[in-house]
Amino acid sequence: MLSKKEKKLIREIWERLSPVAEDIGADALLRYLLLLFFRCRMFASFPGTKTYFSHLDISRGSAHLSSHGKKIVLAIAEGAKDISQLTVTLAPLQTLHAYQLRIDPTNFKLLSHCMLVTLACYLGEGFTPEAHAAMDKFLSAFAAVLAEKYR
């Protein structure tokens, strides 16, 4: 359960990241974020996750990697705008991942973990213990909502 203060913190962090996501072509920092996130983190730490992306080029610096990473960052940022409405905001993504893509829901936890590590690298001192705890709760809630349709 996220407190009011934690929800505000999460909103602020993702508000800060969203404009960067939209400017992906020009922003080296976001590229770094996405590269860390996908290539160096999820795909490298958990190679099994690559099997879902065999139809895409997920090599370092590829256009697919950047555009997909951007979609994910923006989807999380959208959810952070109003955490009490996560179930509504994520409904289309729940259906996509559960029924069309058939992603094993344990993967959502892996991605949440990678995202947390990535944010710690990207935000540096801004990733305070409070931000860490709040982000961990938020990403867990996010992953749980994405996995709801599997029940």
Using CB under 6 A as the criterion, which residues of the chain lie in contact with ligand HNI when the complex forms? 49, 52-53, 68, 71-72, 75-76, 93, 96-97, 101, 103, 107-108, 111, 142, 146
Report whether 147 contacts 108 (CB < 8 A): yes
First to last CA, the chain: 21
Report whether 66 contacts 31 (CB < 8 A): yes
> Between residues 88 and 125, which has the closer beta carbon with respect to ligand HNI?
88
At its nearest, how many Å lie between ligand HNI and the CB of residue 89?
A: 10
> Between residues 4 and 52, which has the closer beta carbon with respect to ligand HNI?
52
> Between residues 41 and 97, which has the closer beta carbon with respect to ligand HNI?
97
- Tally of CA atoms within 13 A in the half-sphere of 82 that contains its CB: 6
At its nearest, how many Å lie between ligand HNI and the CB of residue 53?
A: 6
| Alpha carbons 67 and 84: distance in angstroms, whole number | 28
